[in-house]
Amino acid sequence: MTAYIIRRLLQLPFTMLGVTLLIFAMLQLLTPVERSALYVPSIPHNEGAIDAIIAKYGLDDPFYIQYWRWLVGHKDVNTGEIKGGVLRGDLGFSRSGRQDVIDMIAQRLPATVEMALWSVFPIIGIGIWLGVISAINHNKPIDQIIRVFTTIGWSFPTFVFGLLVLLLFYTKLGWFPPGRLSDPINAVVMSPSFRRYTQLNTVDGLLNGRMDVFWDALRHLVLPILTLSYVVWARILRVTRSSMLETLRQDYLRTARAKGLSEKIVVYRHAFRNALLPVITIGGSMVVGLLDGTVVTEVIFNYPGMGSATARAASSLDATAVLAFVLFGGMVLTVANLIVDVLYAMVDPRIRLT
């Protein structure tokens, strides 16, 4: 397995090269005037100035020349200094965020990572648990109840459910507010005495010994996590239930029962592990979605993560920021696929990664 992982890691740069080619090809759908926004905070209104920018950065050059310049940077004609280039971490300037895209990602990513980390355990854990309970109680009342729960969650639009829980738990009850932190706690976090170890408010609150920061950050995460979990539970539950039902009908489980093994051992030691393979695939894609930023959820709850930044960039026609977020998502997806493949082999010894 070690050789397989090393080989996949060596393939990673070539995969990402293909991703950058695809993204840059999408960029060519824009006119040279629109692409000039990659290099300046705002496009000048003077037509001559725009032409000068196009000529300076070669925005009307052949595709391969522009791609190389976009990837590795360009030489400033005045200073001779190499500027820009995706490989150098220069993803352009975001008009919607009014800052460099790389800085915006650095500011927004911790919020999305924090929400993803707190969401993944209830999403995967409860979804799998409900799927197993439904399968081992096939066609019994509890199975019917869970299936109704699944059907509602499967058909419920995220924005509708998010607005409903926001109306109930914030507007009516005032328990769980939107945003990431309340104003008094945000002042504490921004003060010089509060050390930012990870940029994750819940973790940093614990590391600083400030339980008020921890509980306030967690309170703001409850509704986004609930919204993400309920909509996604249905998918995990359906896949787990179907996989478990198919596995429970296998001959080797009938043999295990005939040997006198208890139903608990048959289900959780023999059937459950083999039923996990399709769940790993679905769960991996869902985790990737969380890390990319859940656009609808973050917008509804005014949560300052990657998703809300993407929505703002798209609504402002900020192509620079949108394409940078797509590139980031491609990187996350590529790494996640490697992790899923490794988990396959860990769960099912019959799979050999060579």
Listed range (60-64, 121-125, 260-264) with the worst mean pLDDT? 260-264
Sort strands 82-83 and 93-94 into parallel, antiparallel or unpaired.
unpaired
The full set of domains in the chain, from first to last, is 2-94 (no CATH), 105-176+224-347 (1.10.3720.10)
> In the chain, count of helices (H) and strands (E)?
16, 4
pLDDT for the residue numbered 42? 59
Residues 126, 132: contact at Cβ < 8 Å? no
pLDDT higher than 90, residue 153? no
Closest CA to 57 of 37, 28, 79: 37
Q: Is the pTM of this model over 0.85?
A: no
Nearest 10 degrees: CA dihedral of 293, 295, 297, 301? 100
Per cent of the chain over pLDDT 70 is: 89
pLDDT tens track for 169-206: 988 888 899 888 998 999 999 998 899 888 899 999 99
**Cβ-based burial of 171 (10 A; exposed 0-12, middle 13-18, buried ≥19):** exposed
Average pLDDT over residues 87-111: 83
pLDDT higher than 90, residue 215? yes
Q: How many CB atoms lie within 10 A of CB 56?
A: 13
Enclosing H/E stretch for 350: none
pLDDT for the residue numbered 92? 76
DSSP secondary structure of 85-109: -GGGT---EETTTTEEHHHHHHHHH
pLDDT higher than 60, residue 32? yes
Question: b or e along 202-240 (b: 16 or more beta carbons within 10 Å of the residue's beta carbon)?
Answer: bbbbebbebeebbebbbebbbbbbbbbbbbbbbbbbbbb
pLDDT higher than 60, residue 43? no
28-36 contacts at long range (C-beta below 8 A, 24 or more positions apart): 28/63, 28/66, 30/319, 32/59, 32/60, 34/319, 35/59, 35/319
pLDDT higher at 336 or 308:
308
- Structure tokens given for 322: 């949108």
Length of the chain (residues): 354
Give the C-alpha separation, 69 to 59, whole Å. Answer: 10
Mean residue pLDDT of the chain comes to 80
Annotate 252-279 with three-state secondary structure. Answer: HHHHHHHCCCCHHHHHHHHHHHHHHHHH
pLDDT for the residue numbered 208? 92
pLDDT higher than 70, residue 104? yes
Strand runs labelled E in the chain: 74-75, 82-83, 93-94, 99-100
DSSP 139: T
**Cβ-based burial of 301 (10 A; exposed 0-12, middle 13-18, buried ≥19):** buried
Please, which pLDDT band fits residue 76 given cuts at 50, 70 and 90? low
Start-to-end Cα distance in the chain: 6
Give the C-alpha separation, 31 to 208, whole Å. Answer: 50
Q: How many CB atoms lie within 10 A of CB 313?
A: 23
